[in-house]
Amino acid sequence: MGLNRLALVCSAVLLLTFSVVSHAGVTSNYTRVAEPSEEMPLETFPPPAGYNAPEQVHITQGDHNGRAMIISWVTLVNDDGSNVIRYWPANTDGSTKESAEASTSSYRYFDYTSGFLHHATIKGLEYETKYFYELGSGRSTRQFNFMTPPKVGPDVPYTFGVIGDLGQTFASNQTLYNYMSANPKGQAVLFVGDLSYADDHPNHDQRKWDSYGRFVEPSAAYQPWIWAAGNHELDFAPSLGENQAFKPFQKRYQTPYRASKSTSSLWYSIKRASTYIIVLSSYSAFDKYTPQNSWLESELKKVNREETPWLFVLVHSPWYNSNGYHYMEGESMRVTFEPWLVQNKVDIVFAGHVHAYERSERVSNIKYNITDGLSSPVKDPSAPIYITIGDGGNIEGIANDYTYPQPSYSAYREASFGHAILDIKNRTHALYTWHRNQDDEPVVADSLWVKNRYFLPEEETDSVDTRI
């Protein structure tokens, strides 16, 4: 709680204009005041009108290749038909609708009982096709739509949004709506964990999971959000009699983990367009012999870069972070998995957790062994870029406690809220841009032409252009 909220509000308005093209790390001292990271009240997000209207609608990829979608929603009561989804391709008149039934459950948490949580996987969708879908009945019917991804292949362009640690403050709202107005428009969101921050409220106020579901619906009902779990998804509270880690999150947010032979919804992979995305769980066991460790080892062998040139990893706790907040919390996972990621030439690792923005150089620190004691990150063309983007704008405020001097692995860092767009052009090039909330969406605070590690393993040229 309360990471320097006061400091943010009190900080002087600083206008900087600089343009840097170099490989020295940049600490941007941008401090224009953003929307406050104060929670939007529960009343901001009433349930939709109509008897038992479906709410908190969100979708995510439902198989390994993108021909299925998991559609999730909540209803207050479990009437006949509340668990049914009807859907049809937008290029038909809808006179013939397919339908599917959701699996439905609810859960108790301390003194709270959830509504009925429905999850339906609709399969056999055509690639690159717009579908309408409908939930609820009679006057409470609600209609949404989504676009399926193009068929998996090496030169398929695709645009992702990247958001982390979103929460539900006025700043979160700015992040979400800035992202929704992005140009090019993101087609799916890579979400690096920490969703509702319900656990920051007394007794982990589960109503905050409901209001979060309503808050993100304007985006999450229309395009898949690829979920990674963060520490705020744990909801582990023995003092409340709540001993099952990740219970509310896993009840509410599903992932297609079985399609990648994972044994837990917290780690899994998908292919989408020209990308292979591996999601890891910072708060599940990952040492040798654990399920996550064995899974990742066999998973990396399955990646065929000729089919999906782009290989991304999502994880909550960053492995390279020069902010005082959460410093080195990701270190044991880094030590365990970094050699594999370098061997497999992962393009980018996205993390959250730290409520600020940071982009690394391509570095690795895998030489160390307990005998020689040599341990410092070195430039490595096979290494991923590490991007920490836990700056969605949650109730805990901004983390502006960078360490000085800026370590050589850190290319750009700034304590502002924002989101990123990853615009994949072809098998060699992707344009990555980070957008701080205080500016209009077209302003780019940090950007890089990312070169694919498999097809074009050349050094990237920084392109940091902060026009304020």
Ligand X SMILES: *[C@@H]1O[C@H](CO)[C@@H](O)[C@H](O)[C@H]1NC(C)=O
> Which residue numbers are catalytic?
326
CA torsion through residues 207, 209, 213, 216, sign: positive
Identify which range of 220-228, 352-360, 394-402, 448-456 contacts Fe ion by CB under 5 A.
352-360
Q: Does 408 engage in binding with ligand X (CB under 6 A)? A: no
Identify which range of 114-122, 268-276, 332-340, 367-375 contacts ligand X by CB under 6 A.
367-375
Cα end-to-end span (Å), the chain: 29
Q: Based on CB atoms, which residue is closest to ligand X, 293 or 426?
A: 426
Cβ atoms 319, 330 nearer than 8 A:
yes
Cβ atoms 73, 56 nearer than 8 A:
yes
Strand partners, 361: none
Q: Based on CB atoms, which residue is closest to Fe ion, 140 or 231?
A: 231
Q: Based on CB atoms, which residue is closest to ligand X, 44 or 106?
A: 44
Cβ atoms 149, 273 nearer than 8 A:
yes
Q: Does 51 engage in binding with ligand X (CB under 6 A)? A: no
Q: Residue 341 is encoded by which pair of tokens?
A: 């990621």
Number of residues in contact with ligand X under rule CB under 6 A: 17
Cβ atoms 36, 5 nearer than 8 A:
yes
CA distance 306 to 155: 10
Q: If you write DSSP's letter for every residue of 236-280 in order, what string do you get?
A: -BGGGTB-STTHHHHHH----GGGGT-SSTTSEEEEETTEEEEE-
Q: Based on CB atoms, which residue is closest to Fe ion, 120 or 333?
A: 333
Cβ atoms 433, 423 nearer than 8 A:
yes
Q: Does 425 engage in binding with ligand X (CB under 6 A)? A: yes
Identify which range of 56-64, 142-150, 391-399, 424-432 contacts ligand X by CB under 6 A.
424-432
Phi-psi region of 136 (alpha: psi -120 to 50; beta: other; left: phi over 0): left
Q: Based on CB atoms, which residue is closest to Fe ion, 353 or 427?
A: 353
Site string for ligand X, 120-159 (x = CB under 6 A): ----------------------------------------
Q: Does 27 engage in binding with ligand X (CB under 6 A)? A: yes
Identify which range of 24-32, 66-74, 141-149, 182-190 contacts ligand X by CB under 6 A.
24-32
Site string for ligand X, 426-455 (x = CB under 6 A): x-xx--------------------------
Strand partners, 86: 99, 134
CA distance 410 to 231: 24
Residues 158-197 that bind Fe ion (CB under 5 A): 194
3-class secondary structure for 108-126?
Answer: EECCEECCEEEEEEECCCC
Q: Does 7 engage in binding with ligand X (CB under 6 A)? A: no
Q: Based on CB atoms, which residue is closest to ligand X, 58 or 118?
A: 58
27 binds, among Fe ion, ligand X, none (CB under 5 to 8 A by kind): ligand X
Residues 159-198 that bind ligand X (CB under 6 A): 170, 173, 177
Identify which range of 37-45, 57-65, 154-162, 349-357 contacts Fe ion by CB under 5 A.
349-357
Residue 236: Cβ within 10 Å count = 16
Q: Based on CB atoms, which residue is closest to ligand X, 27 or 284?
A: 27
Q: Does 231 engage in binding with Fe ion (CB under 5 A)? A: yes
Q: Does 435 engage in binding with Fe ion (CB under 5 A)? A: no
Give every CB contact of residue 178 below 8 A, 6+ residues apart in sequence: 418, 419, 435, 437, 441
231 binds, among ligand X, Fe ion, none (CB under 5 to 8 A by kind): Fe ion
Strand partners, 75: 116
Q: Residue 53 is encoded by which pair of tokens?
A: 């209207």
111 binds, among Fe ion, ligand X, none (CB under 5 to 8 A by kind): none
Residues of the shown chain interacting with Fe ion in the complex, contacts defined by CB under 5 A: 194, 230-231, 353
Q: Which residues bind ligand X (CB under 6 A)?
A: 26-29, 40, 44, 170, 173, 177, 369, 371-372, 404, 425-426, 428-429
